[in-house]
Amino acid sequence: MIQGANFIDGQWVPAVSGRTFQRHNPADPDELIGTFPASDAADVRAAVDALEKAAPEWAATPPERRAAILESAAAQLESRADTLIAELVAEEGKTKAEATMEVSRTPANLRFYAGEATRTTGSTYPSAGDNLVYTLREPVGIVAAITPWNFPFNIPSRKIGPALAAGNPVLYKPSEVTPLMGQRLVEALLDGGLPPAAIALVQGDGTAGAAVAADPRVAAVTFTGSTRVGRAIHREVGPERRVQLEMGGKNPVVVAADADLDGAAALIVKGAFGLSGQACTGTSRVVAVDAVHDALLERVIAKTETLQVGPGNQPGVNMGPLASADQLDKFLHYVQAGVAEGATLRCGGTTVGERGFFVRPTVFADALPTMRIVAEEVFGPLVAFQRAATLDEAVALANATEYGLSAAIVTSDLATATHFARQSRTGLVKINQPTTGMAMNAPFGGYKSSSTQTYKEQAGATLMEFYTLEKTVYLNPAV
């Protein structure tokens, strides 16, 4: 059992209040993973006090040194991979294959952002005579990273990595569902040579998160999580500070009449039920044209019923437990809502066994746009089939949501694919691929209620703009 701690002002410390919370294994709720600080505003104030003092020194650290630290932290994570994989399976409920993928990708992220430390440059502009006009890129200040539980290594590394590369101190608030993973990431950064004063870890629930967003000394808040919480953070941060929000999704797969139905069924099942359906880019809707709808539905049901549900550390398991009792309750609530509103439950929708938060992957048919299973983010292993008379209607149904994160189409026609890419009102478009699974070197972000749409994260030409301020300098060599 782990006795977790906050990391503030270079020290591992309990919460100021002394309060704690526990995290249990979602596959076996009797197994205690650890006890962690239940932080509040007092802990956040102490963390920001310390980071504020440390900011000038970290900003002045040469970029080559910042890059070397991130490279070293990546090596630290790789050296602990086996332990981290086992802990991630136990704490979150991922399968071993899913945990292995995340643990291997996170060091690659840190190495990618290490390169950004030496590539964050300004520009020069034409001017008259001997005058010089140029821009400088400077650290924005304290960056707060508030991260979710479904990718507790990968997503934090996509925020903390570029923040540190740009010379910003970081206030890190991981989800209370995966506090151990948050602590392990900070340990690797410190063992990689990060100055202790350059980072603070504050554990806890939304009370701590709200305090992080509310502190005016936090210059930038980068958040991934629900749209409801993201909107609250946006209101709190206001116009004077930076905010980057990646929020919910209701991601469709459109299936055209010329689609390979076996391939379509495979990618739908992967996108809908991988990670137990707990991914912001997960497939939650299928919009199929009449010509292929029924045959596709039967193929998806057949593949879904072969999935093996169980603890993620057992061989042959395709889908682990939901991450928490709250996630289980939410999933069952949406199953009941789907039935009550008239959708047809074709498979799944029930719990599995007497221990752990296990459920059967679920497929609904006859779903309509007004139904909650179509309109709201379930964030669980539930996919709803919608029928369209034409491809144009299918695209319209796919876009008929407040969200705009990821969308996919299955087609063998290039013109159909490119038309869909232009018409889809989403920040991510997948063609003959699942709605999940994004390249680490490409920009990530959504449209509409899925994102603030101000700064793309993960990669791209504008990645580092969120973490830096641009200053324009006018230089005249003599008066």
> Where in the sequence numbering do the catalytic residues fall?
246
CA dist 124 and 384 (Å) reads 53
The DSSP element (H or E) to which 43 belongs, if any, is helix 41-60
Distant-in-sequence, close-in-space partners of 467: CB < 8 Å, separation ≥ 6: 139, 140, 143, 162, 163, 165, 166, 168, 220
Longest Cα–Cα distance in the chain:
82
Residues in the chain: 479
Instruction: Judge contact between 300 and 269, C-beta under 8 A.
Output: yes
Half-sphere exposure (Cβ direction) of 265: Cα atoms closer than 13 Å: 19
Output DSSP code: residue 463.
Answer: G
CA dist 464 and 455 (Å) reads 9
For the chain, give percent helix, strand, coil, nearest 5: 40, 25, 35
Structure tokens at 73: 């932290």
CA dist 51 and 197 (Å) reads 6
